[in-house]
A and B are shown apart, each in its own frame.
Chain A
Amino acid sequence: MGFYLIQTLNAVAFSVLLMLCGLGLSLVLSLMNFVNLTHGASYLFGSYVAVVWLGSGAPWWLAVPAAFLAAALAGLLLDRFPFARFYGRNHLAQVLLTYGLSVMFADLMRLGFGAEIRSPALPDLLRGVVFVLGMPFPIYRLVLILAGGVLALVLWYLFDRTIWGAVVRASVADRRMVETLGLDTSRVFAVVMAIAAGLGGLSGALGVGMLSAYPGLDEEILLHALFVVVLGGLGTFRGTVAGAFILGFAMTFARVWLPEFAGFLTLLAIALLLVLRPDGLVAPRLRQV
């Protein structure tokens, strides 16, 4: 009983981590119809920033905002060049551009942060466990679940329930119309790109306590994020959350029950779901025709 309760909590924590990774990717896809494969690099960048921050002795609770800001700044620069001229293009062009950039960033980060595995010095506050029915569960993961939940709510409110979100969506649907209203759409896009990249960095800072940071992690995270987002239905917010939880539970329980086939089974589940629901779990608002 306690065993399965904890395994469920494990699955939830992992799902939240997947959701965090997918959110930034999903945001630019749903709002700007832009495929950003540099997202994994944003994540890893955030992880490194957090490691360096925590190693420097600065207040630990500022590590996450610092990672957010650093990655957001990088996103802002990327938006100016070269992303902006690819916003209206087809997915293929975007995939190629951002994949090439991610190869470059991976090598640059290796140059800057070294090839070694880096881990953060976590504050003692986050290191304890709680016992649930006699089984240990780490406080760090509880914090992760909480942070992920709050973040998801904030984003959902911001983009689905405020005028601000409406402006972004309108900018995508009919750019010229919004511009006649006197709004600068390129600034809107820049802000969204910065937030999305920042989210990548933020999830990197939150996840680094679990996954560490090392060259190659960017690709692993990108793959997970892509699975989550595509499974959910290209960049719908609810879909990303659903995709993350399905993948998180599938991966966790495949490892509990059939660990030797876990990799294959996870892929099979993704393929089956996408064959049954070719547009993902939640049909998107916007689609490229």
Chain B
Amino acid sequence: MRAHAWLLCLPLAGLLALFGGDYHLRFAAEILITGTAVMSLDILVGQGRLVSLGHAALFGGAAYVSALLAIHAGAGLMPVLLAGIATGMLLALVMGLVATRSVDLFFLILTLVVGQMVYELAFHWRTVTGGADGLRGIPALALHLGGASWPMSGARSLFLLAAGLALLAYLLARSFLAAPIGRALVASREQPVRLAALGYEVRRLRLLAMVFAGGIAGAAGALYPFVNLYVGPNLVHWSMSATMIVMLVLGGVGTLHGAFVGTGLYLLVQTYLSSFTDRWQLLIGLLFVLIVIFLPDGIVRPGWRRRQA
């Protein structure tokens, strides 16, 4: 059951934090951070049936802003996090204003188009973003609190930070979905016309959900540069958004925690299976297609699949 799985996760995370090596901790932090962004996408896809192909632009856009703040202003954890959240929300707002008039394929294409505009910006604004080469030389992260300052650049502290962020984001997302707005979002997926007849502005609802998801994706994006010490345009490209959807489907749509499972699975396959075979993409594709074909309710119904550990 879900509760048990989560209870299992905590000691696991604790063990990793105590005994994991630098490489494994960074890898775990990357899974948690990317997973958090994928989870925010689950709010849109799983609950609102809003399939966005521009979500990476929110995540990566925040990563760029965060990296730039750290490089040019030496910003610490809090300002970087706030700026990332603000960037994610702002980009989501713009994307939402353009895309929420539409559903299905139109929504997909419009989010893709807005996301690719962010990509074009990151790719061509060389003096600021480094263009195709990206940004490197990102300073170590530190937390400044009232004059005191703690370094957060070690793999262990980054892992703990990522775990904290993932947990917080997960709890926030759950409370969002349990709250009136989350229930209305689910209703808008099932019967948007009826919901409008109840007096709900469906567009506003979708916009709010996008901004919320953008905020979470932005918070995750803000931490990403410090784990990888690099930010590049691939991070905002639409193919990254598509990868996020693949991760989400692998883990289970509409479950929130499935996003972490799927992200972990994908990154593990990508990192380890690719050492053994050139055909790892074929295997990922096959797995993905099998899930779509044989677990069809997953797209419609939340909580359709509970992964037993």
Contact = CB atoms under 8 A, between A and B. Distances in A.
Contact of A270 (B113, B120, B299): B113
Contacts, number: 107
Contacts of B292: 93, 96-97, 100
A230 B106 contact: yes
A104 B121 contact: no
Interface string B67-105: 000000000000000000000000000000010011011
B289 A97 contact: yes
B198 interface: no
Given A92-B51, A96-B249, A107-B279, A278 B102 contact: yes
Given A97-B292, A100-B285, A100-B289, A226 B104 contact: no
Contact of A264 (B105, B121, B245, B285): B121
Contacts of A267: 113, 116-117, 120
A99 B296 CA distance: 15
Contacts of B116: 263, 267
B114 interface: yes
B293 A82 contact: yes
B190 to A, nearest CB: 12
A104 B106 contact: no
A219 B49 CA distance: 24
Contacts of A8: none
Contacts of B13: none
Contact of B293 (A35, A97, A104, A108): A97
Contact of A278 (B51, B106, B281, B284): B106
A236 to B, nearest CB: 13
Contacts of A97: 289, 292-293
**Size class of A's contact patch?**
35 or more
B67 to A, nearest CB: 22
B282 interface: yes
B176 interface: no
A121 interface: no
Interface string B42-59: 000100010100000000
Interface string A94-112: 0111011101101110010
B110 A271 contact: yes
B101 A288 contact: no
Interface in A210-233: 219, 223, 226-227, 230
Contacts of A90: 49, 104, 299
A104 B286 contact: yes
B108 interface: yes
B304 interface: no
Given A92-B104, A104-B282, A275-B101, A264 B289 contact: no
A286 interface: no
B205 interface: no
A274 interface: yes
B244 to A, nearest CB: 12
Nearest to B114: A271
A260 B246 CA distance: 33
Interface residues of B, number: 39
Contact of B105 (A106, A234, A263): A234
B42 to A, nearest CB: 13
A105 to B, nearest CB: 8
A106 B284 CA distance: 12
A268 interface: yes
B108 A95 contact: yes
B71 to A, nearest CB: 24
B245 A96 contact: yes
Given A106-B281, A267-B120, A93 B106 contact: no
A279 B107 CA distance: 11
B194 to A, nearest CB: 12
B249 A230 contact: no
B124 A288 contact: no
A238 interface: no
A22 B224 CA distance: 38
A91 interface: yes
A270 B285 CA distance: 30
Nearest to A103: B285
Please name the 8 residue pairs, one residue from A and one from B, whose CB atoms are nearest each other, closest first: A104-B285, A103-B285, A100-B289, A100-B288, A107-B282, A91-B104, A264-B120, A230-B109
Given A92-B299, A100-B285, A271-B114, 19 more contacts: A82-B293, A85-B293, A93-B292, A95-B51, A97-B289, A97-B293, A100-B289, A107-B279, A111-B282, A223-B238, A227-B109, A227-B113, A230-B106, A261-B124, A263-B120, A264-B117, A274-B98, A274-B109, A274-B113
Interface of A: 35, 82, 85, 89-93, 95-97, 99-101, 103-104, 106-108, 111, 219, 223, 226-227, 230, 234, 260-261, 263-264, 267-268, 270-271, 274-275, 278-280, 288-289
